[in-house]
Structure 1
Amino acid sequence: MHDLIVIGSGPAGYTAALLAAKAKMKTLLIEKNLNNLGGTCLNEGCIPLKGLLHHSLHCADYEKIMSTVSKKISGLRSGLKARLEGAGVEILEAQAKFASAGEVEAKGNIYKANNILICAGSSARRVFKCGNISSPESIFALNPVPKNALIIGGGVIGCEYASFLNNIGVDVTIAEAAPSILYGMDEEAVRALVREFKKKKIKIMCGVGITVPDDGGKVKIKSNETETEEQYDIIIEATGRVPFTQELGLEKAGIETDPKGFIKVNADMMTNVKGIYAAGDCINTPMLAYTAYKEAETAVDNMVTGKSGSLDYVRIPKLVFSMPQLGSAGFSEEDARKNNIDYKIFKYFFKGIGKAVVEESDAGFLKLLTADDRVIGASAVGYEIADIMNEIGLIINAGVSVETIKSTMHIHPSYSEIITEALIFGETAAAVSER
């Protein structure tokens, strides 16, 4: 009998297992493929892709880049396994399925636990059924490197993949059915990113329909005004992700899902069945590793102390690791208007930040929204904005006053000093035209 069984070893799964072990809970972590320990994020997503993006800035040799990144990922995976084992977590390689509400079947054996946490993750959505369309993970096994590529989908994954392929010399086209790429994100920031993409010769086609022939022939891309036909060496479908819950036998435990297959949970991450929780990509929340961490923490905290969850998904910072990057935190202008918030805008361009200029990374800007002497939201485009958005996320979450931020000294030269520059000089800088 275990205190906790965790199904899946991605960010939510391994975080929960480590936290439970720290709380002296007898914990079993079941992962169907230990070569995938750490989940999509560690093996085929967040971390390796960021490695590809970083190394492709300095080297266009795909095989050399992949060799370097693969070694680093292998080391991280080994380190995670050692950390789990060192914490006393029992690890089992097997496909887990529910036998009942309190029992999990794996490798023909039945395992019982007081609590079960489902962290089954997600898989790439496949809209097109043609055999010649590749999934996003194919970017880690290009052989040979294509001369041109079509990316179907202009969301986060599509834009990040486009940046990497562009860096290594591939002629990239993004085709998106929505009116713009990154639809739903700050429109001004998206327009700025589109301008930078076009400077890099990345083609963007929005509001289009796509017809892909089964025989690998030319792809038809049609809008209201035009229709084109072109042959592509590789077609990557990046149309989002879907929860990976179909193999878990949820019905045997009476666990409810929504029409899209996501597991329904409450604020404590508990399903409709007492003692069974879910976290990460398999529930209908932002598919981000760091939200998965907090969801796992919320679930384990509820198991151990009974404390209720209170995650705020509005305030979390978000980032697209394209080149340049695009980020946001808190309220957008549209959010503020919908909530009838009287807000002010402070904007400053990276062309006014010395470090960005000398490093030739001065594209983009930071836009801050304030109300009642507090920062309530932000959006940005730039080459080094991940840590800036982290800082702004903290500022928003802590309710730091504008005056306190303005009086805070930032290291000079640095990218993050744009935060205080925006609040002090933003009204003047906002009038400066983008070039």
Structure 2
Amino acid sequence: MANFDYDLFVIGAGSGGVRAGRIAAGYGARVAIAEEYRVGGTCVIRGCVPKKLLVYASRFTSEFEDASGFGWTLGEASFDWTTLRTAKDREIDRLEKAYVANLERSGAEIIRARAVVTGPNSVRLSDGRTVTAAHILVATGAWPFLPAGVPGIERAVTSNEIFDLPALPERAVIVGGGYIAVEFAGILNGLGVETTLIYRGEQILRGFDREMVDKLAAALTHRGIRILTRSDIVSIGDGDVGPVATLNTGESLPPSLVMYATGRLPNTRDLGLEAAGVELDAVGAVKVDAWSRSSVPSIYAVGDVTNRVNLTPVAIREGHAFADTVFGGREVLVDHGLIPTAVFTTPELGTVGMTEERACATHEAVDVYKAEFRPMRNTLAGRDERMMMKLIVDAISDRVLGVHVMGEGAGEMAQLLGIPMMMNATKADFDRTMAVHPTAAEELVTLRTPSVKHRR
């Protein structure tokens, strides 16, 4: 490695790249990280972190409504988008500085420039320099996808721009059915925006447990979000006070902010990867093996740019495993098979493991345990919204195959449930665990009789 300028050159200072660079530097590697925008990547700058801050803000509407049931008398409440946006920007600035400080403390060098791969061990920077490295790690993430062929789509925004709107619109139309689309529908609705969610499929959140999604869709509708499935925008016109979306059903929606959240594509364009011999798939993702190594042995890739599992914690784990394996002297593989996840709608959806549909397709006998109830908090608040939990169990081995929760704190529960799931916990393990009372989570350890039994 002494023949190269660096032992590791990372392209992209997002979650995966920063973790890989910091850990590798901690092992004594000479590390440089090139970033053309801001350190922190999608998650910190225009993704998970600012989105969660907006989720918190959107929930105060319900908090104010519920307070009277508990004896509180509140004055008239008002919301100021500029104040929230400014506070959000201040927090992002703080986090970016923390990321930079941690990288520099580890000994990694941050290069504020665009980097293009020019060979198995060389990178050209936008400042004119060419540097060499024993290993190159591509961690450039993904970029919002806008479908072609929709007249007027240039009038729409994506998740990149939604955080920095100069003003909050009166109405919004969100196109998509995944995490980003559904979460922003909840955010805007909670902030007082008349919100329509449009998805061309049969039901939102494809791949999640269908019963849980049906319950969530009903709860979102009850909160005022209009959900139009089997629908799509065919054109976006220029209205008097904003874009006007026309649907394939023939309906024209009132002038609204139009946001597309129709997926993201790996950010590999013009990176020089194909010229360097790196194989990409049909959508531009870097093809990698289980060790995150590309078709060129010295070039690796982690995170969304590989299009394996596009979640921030996965990118972080992949980056850490890469550094441990290549520079730490110990082989570490990432298990992509069981990943807890949450959709930060209101109410939340938290999940880990198999859906009921998947379990029934892969196991001979499946028992499903369910609990649906009105949480204690909602009783005095006068809110009808219900909570739901499901345990999916292999009836032969008694192993818990999946757990799904809809309601307050579902994301927090999913994280903790991931631990026993990784340890192959059985239904008997859940049964012999003491409940914490009174909590909603106690339902997970007090379910005794299957609601449904599936047998082949």
Indicate whether the TM-score tops 0.5: yes
The residue number in structure 2 matching 1:433 is none
Equivalent residue, structure 1, for 2:7? 3
2:57 corresponds in structure 1 to 55
Q: Is the 8 A contact 1:361 1:382 kept in 2?
A: no
Residue 109 (structure 2) aligns with: 90
Which of 349, 362, 367 matches 1:326? 349
Say if 1:367 and 1:378, in contact at 8 Å, map to a contact too. Answer: yes
Query: How many residues get paired?
Result: 422
Code of the aligned partner of 2:105: G
The residue type paired with residue 412 of structure 2 is D
C-alpha separation between the residues in 1 aligned to 2:202 and 2:146? 21
CA distance in 1, matches of 2:380, 2:132: 60
Partner deviation per Cα, 1:348-374 (whole Å, 9 max, x = no partner): 2242x5467567696221101112122
Q: CA deviation at 1:99?
A: 1.6
How far the C-alpha of 1:258 sits from its partner, in A, is 0.3
Q: Which residue of 2 aligns with 1:116?
A: 136
The answer to whether the 8 A contact 2:116-2:272 is kept is: yes
Compared with structure 1, are the counterparts of its residues 72 and 409 closer, same or farther at alpha carbon in structure 2 (3 Å cutoff)? farther
Alignment of 1:133-282 (within 5 A): 133-216=156-239, 218-223=244-249, 227-282=250-305
- What SS class does the counterpart of residue 368 from structure 2 fall into? strand
SS for the counterpart of 1:140 is helix
Task: Give a deviation string over 1:280-322, Cα, whole Å, max 9, x none.
Answer: 0100212100110111122222212565554332311121111
2:49 matched to 1:24?
A: no
In the other structure, the counterpart of 2:90 is 71
Q: Distance in 2 between matches of 1:205 and 1:10?
A: 34
Q: 1:268 to 1:218 in 2, by over 3 A?
A: same
**Identity of matched residues, %:** 29
**Structure 1 CA distance for aligned equivalents of residues 333 and 98 of structure 2:** 31
Distance (whole Å) between structure 2 residues aligned to residue 42 and residue 361 of structure 1: 35
Question: What secondary structure sits across from 1:417 in the alignment?
Answer: helix
Partners of 2:27 and 2:325 lie apart in 1 by 12
2:275 partner SS: helix
Using the alignment, how far apart are the partners of 2:221 and 2:330 within structure 1? Answer: 50
Change (3 A) 1:413 1:85: farther
Amino acid at match of 1:364: M
Q: Match of 1:228, SS? A: coil
* Partner AA of 2:45 in structure 1: N
Q: In structure 1, what is the Cα distance between the partners aligned to 2:116 and 2:435? A: 52
Q: Report how far residue 160 of structure 1 moved.
A: 0.5
**DSSP 3-state at the match of 1:368:** strand
TM-score, normalisation: structure 1: 0.91
1:315-338 per-residue CA deviation (whole Å, 9 max, x = no partner) reads 111211111112221111222122
SS of equivalent residue, structure 2 residue 180: helix
The separation in 1 between residues aligned to 2:276 and 2:83, in whole angstroms, is: 47
Q: Secondary structure at the match of 2:271?
A: coil
Cα distance in 2 for residues equivalent to 1:185 and 1:393:
16
Aligned partner letter, 2:40: G
Structure 1 residues 88 and 412, CA gap change in structure 2 (3 angstroms): farther
Which residue number corresponds to residue 80 of structure 1? 99
CA distance in 1, matches of 2:159, 2:21: 28
Shift of 1:407: 2.5
Superimposed CA distance per residue, residues 145-170 of structure 1 (whole angstroms, 9 cap, x where no aligned partner): 11111111122111110111001110
1:44 to 43, 46, 63: 46
Question: Structure 1: where are the runs of 5+ without partners?
Answer: 431-435
Structure 1 CA distance, aligned partners of 2:380 and 2:136? 53
In the TM superposition, 1:285-304 aligns within 5 A as 285-304=308-327
Name the stretch that deviates more: 105-114 or 284-293.
105-114
> Structure 2: how far apart are the matches of 1:394 and 1:361?
32
Q: Is residue 2:437 matched to residue 1:418?
A: no
Distance, in Å, in 1 between the alignment partners of 2:450 and 2:336 is 29
SS of corresponding position for 1:57: helix
The answer (yes or no) to whether the contact 2:141–2:304 under 8 Å persists in 1 is yes
More divergent stretch after superposition (130-139 vs 7-16) = 130-139
Q: Deviations over 1:254-279 (max 9, x none)?
A: 11100110000000000011121100
Letter paired with 2:27 = A
TM-score if structure 2 supplies the norm length? Answer: 0.87
Task: Report if aligned partners of 1:363, 1:383 keep a CA contact under 8 Å in 2.
Answer: no
Q: Which runs of 5+ in 2 are unaligned?
A: 62-78
Q: 1:16 to 1:426 in 2, by over 3 A?
A: farther
Deviates more, 1:305-314 or 1:256-265: 305-314
Is 1:379 aligned with 2:381? no
My pick for the range that moved more, 282-291 or 300-309, is: 300-309
- Worse-matched range after superposition: 353-362 or 316-325: 353-362
Q: Say if 2:176 and 2:197, in contact at 8 Å, map to a contact too.
A: yes
CA distance in 2, matches of 1:117, 1:300: 10
State the partner residue of 2:419.
394
